[in-house]
Structure formats: C-alpha cells, structure tokens
Structure 1
Amino acid sequence: MTSITPATAASPGRAAASEARKQRIRDAALTLFSRFGLRGASLDAIADQAGVSKTNLLYYFPSKEKLYVSVLQQILETWLEPMRAIDADQPPEAAIGHYIRFKVELSRDHVQASRLFCLEMIQGAPLLKEELRNHLRALVEEKSKVIEGWIASGSLLPVDPHHLIYLLWGTTQHYADFAVQIEAISGRTLADPDFFEATVDNIQRIVLGGLLPRTNRDA
C-alpha cells in the first residue's frame, strides 16, 4: 500500500494554485493586449496587473509572444464551445438556435476577448495561423458534415455549410466587436436583458426563417 506523504497530499493544492496564478496572468494579459496590442502591452505592466513578479510571469510564460498565443488559444477554445455543441442527433432548429444564444452570451460576457481575437485576424493572424489551419479547420469540417446530413434528410434547405458557419459566427460576433456602434445607434447593450433577448430572438428568426423548410417553420 502506497503511503501519502504531506508533500504528496499537498500537491493537488499546489497545482490548483499554480493554475489559478497562470489564469490570473492570462486575464491580466487579455485586458492589456486588448487595449494596447502585443507591442503596446509590456510584461512589467501585465505582471503588475496580475499581482505577480515579472520573474514569476516568465516562469509560466517564457516570452510575451508565448503569453499572447496562450491567451489567443484560450479565447479560441471559448468561442468554439458553441460550435462543438452542434450535434447531428439534434434537429437543426434546436442546434442552430442554441448556437446563436450561446454565441450572443459570449459576445455579452467576453467583449475584451472578442476584440483581441478580431485584432489578431485583421493583422493576418501571424501568431495563430497554424491553429486556425489545423484545429479550427478540422472542427468546421466536422460540423459541415452535420449540416450536410440535415440537408440530405430534408430538415434544412440546401446551403453551403461553410458560408452558413461564417454567417452565424459573424452575425453573433458583431455584437461584441461593434458593441460601441450598436450602443451609439440603439442606446442599448447586451447587458440589458430585454435587448439581449430581442437580439437572440431576431437572429434566430431571421436565420432559421431562411434555412428551415416551410413545414418546419410552421411547426
């Protein structure tokens, strides 16, 4: 029988504390990268924002570029969660409707993350291109097959799956990337529960109204 020493018993706690510290650094980096970009945000400022020493920061992330990529990868994982939830066993109106709601929630709750990701895309994704070409492409192809299955079964009108995914991504992301513009025009934000629900409802009705056969829409 293996005995548990105090050091062994404490290791899960140390691991959790270490992961919490890394996340605090990522959160601080996100705040500053989204405001000043990769070049404008210094490691000293990020360490100060995170409440750690620069030496401690560099222990976890050996360079500013590695920290930047880690933040972007975490953003991508968060934003892809709604797409991963799309399942062939669901009817398309439920899966797509859920995707829209989930993505609008992310646009409401993760404005800084969306802004930084958008900035990286505008710059040509120099530090995230391989992640997009491999991980993201594979996921899009997987979900495209789900959409093709819905079309083949007659539960969805014919549409190019890639363009549908681009449309869903761009429409929902707009409420984060252009939040200032939306507030200037409407005087409201997604923080307003009524405006949030109206946003979700309208996107769902517009998108599904053009995708579902009439019998599905009537149902």
Structure 2
Amino acid sequence: MADPTRHLHHGSKTPLKPDDLYASPPPWDIGRPQPAFLALAAAGAVRGRVLDVGCGTGEHTLMAAGLGLDATGVDLASRALRAAEAKASDRGRTARFLLHDARQLVDLQESFDTVLDCGLFHIFFDDDRAAYVEGLRSVVPPGGRYFMLGFSDRQPGEWGRVRKLTRDEIAASCADGWRIDSIEPTTIDITTDPDGVRAWLVALTRI
C-alpha cells in the first residue's frame, strides 16, 4: 500500500508547508465524504452548527451544508480552502471556510454543536494534541458532539508522521470534559488502496 503521508515529508523529517500537501491531490482527498461520516449524517447525528476541523477541500463541510446546516471548515492549507470554496460555488452550497490553526480553536470565540475530524487528531503529538483537545472543549458546549476518524493501531506498516491510535490512547486524551459514546473500528477511504486504511470512528459528547 502506498503511504498517504508521503506528502508530509521530503524523505527525511522536514515537514512541508500545509499548501504543499495539496500541490497534487493527496490520497485522503477522495472527492466525496467518508462513508463513516455519511452514515452519521444519515442517522441524524450531524446537527446544529457544524465545525469541520482540518477540512481540506471541504467534503465534510459541504456534506453538512447539504443538510441545511450552518457549516464552517478550518484548515491551514489555503490551496485546499480555495478548492473547497470552488466546490461550494459549483454545488450551490453555502459554507464558510477559514484559514485557521486547529490548535487555536479558542480564538474562534464561537460554539459548535457538532465537530467533525477526519484525519487531523492522529497527526498531533503530545503538546499539540493537548492544545487541540483543549480547544475542542472551548468551542463545544455541553451536549455537543465530536466525531473523529483516525488511523488505528490495527493498520500494518509505517505511515510517516501519522500516529496510529489505540483505544486507550484516545480515551486518555479525551478523559477531561467528554463522555466516550463509542470507539468503533472502521476504515478511511483513500485513492491509493481500494481497501482503505484501518481506522477508529470515535464519538464523544461534551459534558
């Protein structure tokens, strides 16, 4: 299987700029929402004001907008955000896309009923992850939901800078201020392997 994180480094450990990730379509940019998130939408779990963190080219933001919801996507890749805005225009959907660091969500000074995270949580290590989770707590009011798709420790092989997640690690990271509703095995679809990548679908409720 090809490494979808190969775009994250130059054969060494030198990180690329966010825009460089979208110089050509990365494997996670599949041109449609992930099936696991589509199922959540069909079940009515995506509701209220929606924040799509690390939104990329906006498929999950636009999924929420297509439900008639107030949808915001944030990312640090301006190239991806321009593509997202073009998609919104082409599809006749109203959504907001912001160039913003997901580790500084508190600076948004807003609240969201639903947060969607496909492939962001698993790139953060230690302090960055703690800052991200703290920011999530700041923007999700009690009763709000956080849904995350992240690489699972069940996925074989090396995957660059992605930190494959264990159940215990997820639970420990989200112990403060959240109720863990479920951590279920699923897959993330990518363009480079028809079987996708083994992942966890995590559902949390803010308490």
One fold, TM greater than 0.5?
Answer: no
Larger helix fraction of residues: 1
Flag the structure with larger Rg. Answer: 1
Compare the two structures and name the one with the higher strand fraction.
Answer: 2
TM-score by length of 1: 0.30
Compute the TM-score of the two structures, normalised by the length of structure 2: 0.32
